[in-house]
A and B are shown apart, each in its own frame.
Chain A
Amino acid sequence: MRRYVFGRVGQVILTLLIYITLVYFLLQAMPGDITMMYLSNPKIPQAAREELRSQLGLDQSLFIQYVSYMKNFFRGELGVSFSQYPKPVWDILMEKLPRTFVLFLTANILSFYIGFVLGKVIAWRRGKIIDHAATVVGITFWTAFYPLLALVVIWIFAYNLKWLPLNQFIDPRLWTAAPFTANQVFGNMVCGAAIVAIGIFLIFFYLLRGLKPSRRSRVYAWSATAALIAAVVFVAVRKGMLIYIWDITRHMILPVLTLTLINFAGTMLLMRDSMLETVQEDYVLAARAKGLPDRVVRDRYAARTALLPTVTSLVLSLASSMSGGMVTETMFSWPGLGQTLFTAALANDYPLATGALAFTGIFLLIAHFIADILYAVLDPRITYTGQSGI
């Protein structure tokens, strides 16, 4: 296992290098030399130009420029944003990254879970009404025009029902007198959520192991979970953050909902197909012969192995889900990577746009990596020795 992980890490680093190189050349290939833009941008004061010139190595050959770009990139010096001068690109992106991360992670976990459960249920009841209905709904969402879907969601929930706030990350009226910045609160929120998630995982992993966990350990597990959540909420209340956390959460619901709607159908349809294949396996028949209850056969036998190809395709679809995420962020003015990339691109803020593009790539690379490891954990047949990727 360790060798496998190290091998994958090596590949990830290599891919990352190539990716950044490509982004660099994309930058170079654009008409109207980037360097000229830097130098002629009226927003940049004269004093800063000389510094920029040497930092970018503009006097040197293309190769030296490339090397210095790479060096700077890995030192976190991505240049200065045109549109938000003189804010460094790195700082801007670091501020946005967690927001995209949370949106992406929440929506992807939700949509994968929902897709997985629905796919398994409809495959199990193949040919029934629920199967047809879910397939039609799934195809509709899968091929829906994302911006329009976002508009529909906004129109229904924010405009018509007025359940949820319309747009953006926070409600400015509430935050004018706030003792915290939105980022502080957000950071705390993410930490809290992470603690709860890891805690629940550990609790269930240790207390509910084995094929037949006793009644008592079940009770322990649930009460420990409740206690953990209560503790986290208590801390938030003590810090006086609860109301702000609630505000951010409220603003998150619609983007998460939209992104989930965009993504769940792919998983669902795939899971259905994958499951239709595994239900024909001999070991599923054998499981039924063993007299296992229907649900156990479905969940532990058919669905468990059907999960594997679905995870593979999740890996393949991460990039497209990122694209969907960008559309969602833009439509909801959710200030994350995608929205930043989009506004920067429209404002011809090339350093910020390419920086965001590079970050998106890194982000996906890490997501890929995690999904790969997850797959290896899920499939005992994977041998970790000397495997080279695909």
Chain B
Amino acid sequence: MNELAPTPGTGSASLTEPLWKIRWKLTRRSFAQSWEIFRESRIGMIGIILIIAFGIFGALWPIMINTVWDPMVYDPVVGFDPMSMHPSPPSAAHLLGTDPIGRDILAQLMYSTGREFLLGVLSAVITVVIGTTVGTAAAYYGGLIDTVFMRIADIILLFPFIPLLVVMGSMVKLSFLPFAVIMGVLGGFGGITIILKAQALSVSVRPYIDAARVAGGSDFHIIVSHIIPNVLPLSFLYMMFSVTSAILSEATLSFFGVLNIDMSWGMMIHTADVAGYLFDFARYWWLWAPSGLAITLFCAAFYMVGRGLDEVVNPRLRKR
């Protein structure tokens, strides 16, 4: 079930090879095995392909703006095309049309992609680092630490993020990075701690942890080299789901105009909304469809990778 557990075969090898080398080999092997399983999951692979596609799309932005596109016209925030009526439907000059104030939709979409990656990954990494640390510590030490962090998690679970951030946003308009950090921290101390603690708990009672303890391993050593590697796959899984929730929250809050973010997929729809173009929903489709689709596809991609990983972490979900 967990590929990182010491396997009988490696005992003799340790006499001839340095420990780190064996560790590295084991890690690589377990990674290769996990990848084998992951590849079987069709949904996970679709997710990976989508993420790569988004990556390429986002990477095109600096290239386009430096070569093909005139920054005066195509800047996602301050650009303006004096040549036509706005919002203009898709044309040769603007493949996805322009928004109500004359900015190119495709440029906005591309520019935002990189930033969504940054937002999602940053907040997910914060979430997972905090969640893993706190969860393992709570499981390993128990007692007061456990109680305190679990109560905190309870309360955060109670906090409806969106209303909370709307209220906060009405006081201080959050900009991009603080928003990512807040999402990350709230996520990290929230539900993920409970889940990872449960996982760490199931590891920390396994006999080989006791063996390590008897053999005189320090707490830190045991946590880092025995418990965390076993919690990590699950952490990684929840990281994918955290990306999804961070992006969706950002989009929603941007849409309501309570964030201080100059451009994002949510902002694009917000722009169309405040200018009143969303009432004629079908006619001005290019104002909301590209960004709306991007949000859904992007979130779905990470979610699907998460589901694929689920089959790696949880063998009982596999077909056989």
Contacts and interface: CB of A to CB of B under 8 A. Distances in A.
B317 A323 contact: no
Contact of A18 (B155, B172, B299): B155
Contacts of A26: 167-168
Given A30-B171, A139-B303, A360 B160 contact: yes
A151 interface: yes
Contacts of A155: 281-282
A389 B248 contact: no
| Most A CB within 10 A of own CB, among B159, B162, B258 | B162
Interface stretch (A107-115, A222-230, A240-248, A351-359): A351-359
A258 B281 CA distance: 17
A356 B163 CA distance: 9
A326 B258 contact: no
Interface in B236-253: 244-245, 248-249, 251-252
A389 B281 CA distance: 48
A15 B158 contact: yes
Given A140-B296, A148-B288, A276-B316, A326 B160 contact: yes
B169 interface: yes
A146 interface: yes
Contacts, number: 135
Given A145-B248, A323-B162, A326-B162, A316 B191 contact: yes
A286 interface: no
SS class, residues of chain B in contact with chain A: helix
Interface string B141-159: 0000001001100110111
Interface string A354-382: 10110011001100100000000000000
Contact of A357 (B167, B249, B300): B167
A151 B162 contact: no
A353 B160 contact: no
A19 interface: yes
Nearest to A160: B282
Contacts of B125: none
A234 interface: no
A319 B157 contact: yes
Contact of B150 (A19, A322, A346, A389): A389
A323 B248 CA distance: 11
Interface in B276-298: 278, 281-282, 288, 292, 295-296
B200 interface: no
A277 interface: yes
A22 B281 contact: no
Given A145-B251, A147-B255, A330-B256, A341 B159 contact: no
| Most B CB within 10 A of own CB, among A127, A139, A273, A330 | A139
Interface in A329-349: 330, 338, 341-342, 345-346, 348
Interface string A273-307: 10011001000000000000000000000000000
Contact of A319 (B161, B299, B307, B316): B161
A26 B182 CA distance: 14
B109 to A, nearest CB: 14
B304 interface: yes
Nearest to A32: B171
Contacts of B134: none
B48 interface: no
Given A322-B163, A326-B163, A316 B157 contact: yes
Nearest to B147: A388
A256 interface: no
B309 interface: no
B300 A143 contact: yes
Contacts of A326: 160, 162-163, 166
Given A30-B172, A145-B251, A280-B316, A323 B194 contact: no
B246 to A, nearest CB: 12
A147 B269 contact: yes
Contact of B154 (A341, A353, A389): A389
A361 B317 contact: no
A146 B256 CA distance: 12
B70 to A, nearest CB: 31
B317 A140 contact: no
A389 to B, nearest CB: 7
A144 interface: yes
A280 B316 CA distance: 8
Interface in A15-41: 15, 18-19, 22, 26, 30-31
Contacts of B163: 322-323, 326, 338, 341-342, 356-357, 360
Nearest to A281: B316
B194 A390 contact: yes
B170 interface: yes
Interface string B17-51: 00000000000000000000000000100000000
A145 B168 contact: no
| Most B CB within 10 A of own CB, among A15, A19, A143 | A143
Nearest to A324: B162
Nearest to A147: B255
Contacts of B319: 126-127
B99 interface: no
A353 B167 contact: yes
A341 B269 contact: no
A168 interface: no
A78 interface: no
Given A155-B282, A330-B256, A145 B296 contact: yes
A15 B155 contact: yes
A175 interface: no
Interface in A37-79: none
| 9 shortest interchain CB distances as A-B pairs | A323-B162, A143-B299, A345-B170, A30-B171, A322-B160, A155-B281, A143-B300, A148-B292, A145-B295
Interface of B: 43, 147, 150-151, 154-155, 157-164, 166-172, 191, 194, 244-245, 248-249, 251-252, 255-256, 258, 266, 269, 273, 278, 281-282, 288, 292, 295-296, 299-300, 303-304, 307, 310, 314, 316-317, 319
10 contacts: A140-B296, A143-B299, A143-B303, A145-B251, A273-B317, A320-B161, A327-B162, A342-B166, A345-B169, A364-B160
Given A145-B266, A280-B316, 4 more contacts: A143-B303, A319-B158, A345-B169, A357-B164
